[in-house]
Amino acid sequence: MDTQVIERPPLLAVDPGREKCGVAVVTYARTVLEREIISTSELPFRVAYHVGRYGIDIIVLGDRTGAREVRDALRQAGFQLEITLVDEDRSSEMGRRRYLLDNRGSGFARLLPIGLRTPDRPYDDYVAIILAERYLDGSRF
């Protein structure tokens, strides 16, 4: 008997903001395929790109700053994908920590405890990964 595993397309997670958004494409096996930080005005174009490239059928959207505006902008751009809001509580803190763990720095900075280090760039893309994982933790697929 020939069995085939049907794999779902990855999801697109967005950490919305007024000026910029963190974006991550994450599989249901929790593999991060892409992550980026873009201007909020650029989001509909990037969503179209990711939908075309990966066949995405769900957007996971953080529920705080800019969530309604981003959701409305995506709807006005014609996207009929499922958009699911996810609780953002402490996600920025968790994204910051993950960024710092992935980017240890160099020289003496590597020796500093993580709580004393400062990210050298925004980490909204890491927050988007946290949001994707929260969705996956609570979903039944």
Residue 54, helix vs strand vs coil: helix
User: What 3 state SS string does 4-36 have?
Assistant: CCCCCCCEEEEECCCCEEEEEEECCCCCEEEEE
pTM of the complete model: 0.91
- Each residue's pLDDT tens digit, 27-85: 999 999 999 999 999 999 999 999 999 999 999 999 998 999 999 999 999 999 999 99
Residue 140 has pLDDT above 70, yes or no: no
Domains of the chain: 11-87+124-138 (3.30.420.40)
pLDDT (average), residues 90-96: 96
Tracing tokens 């050298």 back to the chain, one arrives at: 120
pLDDT (average), residues 3-32: 91
